[in-house]
Structure 1
């Protein structure tokens, strides 16, 4: 076990300042907040090889910066002293839980005084260099594995679209959504005042995904609506198809048949097909490259793109019998379930890689990294 020393004895903490007067689009130096780069400046506060620790906001995601930079008041610049290698300090910060120092009741924050009380193990410089080298060697091996896993996830996304392209390629008979739907509308504004844990489900754009048509259920928002409120016109039914019409345009979801009472916000449109039995078929079509091309060809806006309800109504969709629709859905689900299984395995492996990264750091600062 290495001797421990307080930060107040081995490093300097540089508090951030307002960038007014130094900010410049073509400045030589980057400006950092607690979450990363936010602009450029003509001057700097922190020298090269400084560790950034968030003062407010993102407090548990330290950064290592190899060039001089300006930090604003949400970020501390932590500069190693003579007894400390900057990279050794950085790896210590990566494994340290700064949330334990958060005494706030609102936005996460830490104080300079509390940071200076932190104790960390300090071997000699040669041993610090050896530990840094060993950490980076092991991290490099982990990074190669993670890169392979990420490639697999990208290939799964390509395969999913290839499946959809295959099943929809030969469907030539088309009609507009206007012709085959009984409802195309979007949600109302001003729902936040009705948020209530005991209310009915309120679906937001974050509940839709890019690669699937199943709604996410990990962060359900609820609303308690008074009688007669205008937004009740957008109450959902089973097999309705949802489409994001702002921000991440064209995300698609299918409302499950056993849906509880639920509504949508103004960033989502709902399409209710006359033949509701084909809702899932239509959702997968709109998720496909063919459907996305149809949907997004009329997107509008400059800096903020959007889809209008008429854009959706004018989108053409394939016309098939229920028998064909069922066969297509069955084929898609069979192939997608294989993808989902592989993806789950990949996600578990990615989580294990991150846990292993933390294990390496823990051993490094307990003197157990050979």
Structure 2
């Protein structure tokens, strides 16, 4: 319910509250900007702004002072959790992807305008399909409730007070997230040093009964293949999983985007891989960020971008999986074919990767310890994620109440 106070505020079109100064903006492409800043000291450069924030530097400025910018295109107009407007101060340069606004003297405050523009729903003001656009005409026609300047100042002050408290809470949640990440890494480190199951083992020592073996000695490897797409009978009504890098999203692969027929396996390079095998992506653009590793949850096949390790008796799939996950960055960075940007893994080097292995009963014990501890961490992570989402919803709620007159 809107408060009685806000009912006394007059509502005007945005163009009556602000000056739209799009004549002050000018686009300069990145190549030209680079030419202009080469060899110049940072102190001689100025921020260059676009739809959602600073996008670079330039050796000159077109605006000086305080302004509010809002995207013309390229802004997240339909995502209520993300800001569409932001403030700039000082000497700056703005390109043509953002509108430049300034509160009219004696009429409106820049901060009041800023918060209001980040509170409203833009679905009625933007147009376009692939790239939404907020035209100057649509922007000008946005209605805004406008109390007197003294009330605007009180509202801005209250918003900033509440946002400050909210930001502190968000920072604490993000710190907790980072601590959980560190904890997960520590759990895996302790596990494969034997310190979760051997109380007296010292860091750097190999626990009694453990051995070091390479992956090539604990099972056999299988490559993948792709049945001919021209042979419809290989794909039509298939029921055997055919796994590609895009399917490698979970610890255990139980489904895939594509399936092939049993008959296609004997007639193509695709090979059947046993349930419980360890799957490694060895060729994909995704390797620049992470090395996907998984366990085959069923008998399945893969394409040529994966290698599969079917384990011998005495080796736990879950143990080998978690060990390789704990060393994911080492494998990815050390075994990349080019050594810099990782697009593929050197398979012979991967096969020679050494792991520390206890007897099978202790492997199962270690897996139980890992999964018990990481389960607690996962539950906490889910709670934190929910809290962060609620915090962003609360930010919108604060703005909504502010412009309904409920904060004063």
TM-score normalized with structure 2 length = 0.73
Judged with a 3 Å threshold, the aligned counterparts in structure 2 of structure 1 residues 184 and 216 are, in CA distance, closer, same or farther, namely closer
Cα RMSD for the two superposed structures: 3.8
Alpha-carbon distance, 1:113 to partner: 1.4
Decide which structure has the larger Cα Rg and report it.
2
Structure 2 residue matching 1:68: 3-state secondary structure: strand
Task: Give a deviation string over 1:220-264, Cα, whole Å, max 9, x none.
Answer: 9945889979997388764444556655444444245148x7756
Moved more, 297-306 or 58-67: 297-306
Among candidates 48, 72, 92, match of residue 55 of structure 1: 72
Alpha-carbon distance, 1:138 to partner: 0.6
Alpha carbons 1:201, 1:223 under 8 Å: kept: yes
Alpha carbons 2:247, 2:256 under 8 Å: kept: no
- Which structure 1 segments of 5+ residues have no match? 192-197
Alpha-carbon distance, 1:358 to partner: 0.8
Alpha-carbon distance, 1:284 to partner: 1.0
Judged with a 3 Å threshold, the aligned counterparts in structure 2 of structure 1 residues 309 and 95 are, in CA distance, closer, same or farther, namely farther
Among candidates 251, 254, 259, match of residue 294 of structure 2: 254
- Which structure 2 segments of 5+ residues have no match? 1-5, 78-82, 195-205, 230-236
1:272 is aligned to 2:309: yes
Alpha-carbon distance, 1:347 to partner: 1.5
Alpha-carbon distance, 1:136 to partner: 0.8
User: What corresponds to 1:149 in structure 2?
Assistant: 173
Among candidates 322, 335, 346, match of residue 384 of structure 2: 346
User: Could you tell me how far apart the structure 1 residues matched to 2:333 and 2:103 are?
Assistant: 52
Judged with a 3 Å threshold, the aligned counterparts in structure 2 of structure 1 residues 136 and 314 are, in CA distance, closer, same or farther, namely same
User: Could you tell me how far apart the structure 2 residues matched to 1:204 and 1:17 are?
Assistant: 43
Alpha carbons 2:278, 2:293 under 8 Å: kept: yes
Structure 2 residue matching 1:101: 3-state secondary structure: coil
User: What corresponds to 1:324 in structure 2?
Assistant: 362
Task: Give a deviation string over 1:18-55, Cα, whole Å, max 9, x none.
Answer: 31455533462222232433221123344443233222
Judged with a 3 Å threshold, the aligned counterparts in structure 2 of structure 1 residues 154 and 101 are, in CA distance, closer, same or farther, namely same
Alpha-carbon distance, 1:265 to partner: 8.6
Alpha carbons 1:57, 1:109 under 8 Å: kept: yes
1:1-370 → structure 2 map (5 Å cutoff): 1=6, 2-11=9-18, 12-14=20-22, 16-20=25-29, 24-25=36-37, 26=40, 28-60=45-77, 61-62=83-84, 63-82=86-105, 83-170=107-194, 172-183=210-221, 185=223, 203-204=244-245, 208=249, 214=251, 222=257, 233=270, 238-243=275-280, 246-255=286-295, 257-258=297-298, 266=305, 269-275=306-312, 278-288=316-326, 290=327, 292-299=329-336, 301=338, 304-306=341-343, 307-370=345-408
Alpha-carbon distance, 1:72 to partner: 2.7
Task: Give a deviation string over 1:187-208, Cα, whole Å, max 9, x none.
Answer: 88xx9xxxxxx99776546964
TM-score normalized with structure 1 length = 0.79
User: What corresponds to 2:232 in structure 1?
Assistant: none
Task: Give a deviation string over 1:268-310, Cα, whole Å, max 9, x none.
Answer: x44323349733222211222x554355334464762454333
Moved more, 26-35 or 179-188: 179-188
Aligned pair count? 354
User: Could you tell me how far apart the structure 1 residues matched to 2:247 and 2:75 are?
Assistant: 21
User: Could you tell me how far apart the structure 2 residues matched to 1:216 and 1:9 are?
Assistant: 59
User: Could you tell me how far apart the structure 2 residues matched to 1:39 and 1:285 are?
Assistant: 42
